[in-house]
Structure 1
């Protein structure tokens, strides 16, 4: 199984790089529209392309958790380049195939 990560900013991002993409690693455009509808309150959704998504939990091994933290920092720095005051993004990770399932919100 693979982990997919998506970001939903409240502004359109003119990007397509090695980390955040309009293309697909695990998803296609139709799937991203369903993800946007089910998982985000924002008007845009992008897949965070990586060999393993961003998951920072106590259950991950230390090496993968460290890499996830590094990816999240890169993602935040990237977003900061395009955001103005008040802009934001949401973030969602799941196993591939579970993108549109109900998520537990805490």
Structure 2
């Protein structure tokens, strides 16, 4: 089973045709159209649904538990999340937002276990805890 990090945007993006060494990419990774439609209907308000391909540590490991029990992995996940924030800062127009939902493939219709609201212009990285089944609204 695979963990999927879905991202919803208010605009379409061109998907990479070739593999890159970028820490994070917006693409289709594990999900199929049916998985993405469930996330769109149950969790998102945005019309375009993709996945975040994390080549570093997954962002859902950037939380208090990992900070205590695996600080090295926490720092790697934090680096991946900061890269994603940098990418979103370039993609999102001022006042726009995106939505992120993280869950195991096939569990898209299950209830959320938490919600976060993050402002890219006031990023308080050390106060952010991300777990699976978390809905995250990221605003620019």
Is TM > 0.5 for Structure 1 vs Structure 2?
A: yes
Correspondence for 2:128 = none
Whole-angstrom distance in 2 between the partners of 1:15 and 1:83: 16
Q: Structure 1 residue aligned with 2:63, among 11, 36, 57?
A: 57
Correspondence for 2:125 = none
Residues 35, 106 of structure 2: 8 Å contact kept:
no
Whole-angstrom distance in 2 between the partners of 1:63 and 1:104: 25
Give 1 or 2: higher strand fraction: 2
Long gaps (5+) in structure 2: 116-140
Considering only CA atoms, is the larger Rg found in Structure 1 or Structure 2? Answer: 2
Correspondence for 1:68 = 77
Alpha carbon RMSD of aligned pairs, Å?
Answer: 2.3
Query: Which TM-score applies when normalising by structure 1?
Result: 0.78
Long gaps (5+) in structure 1: none
Correspondence for 2:34 = 30
Cα distance, 1:76 vs structure 2: 1.4
Query: Which TM-score applies when normalising by structure 2?
Result: 0.62
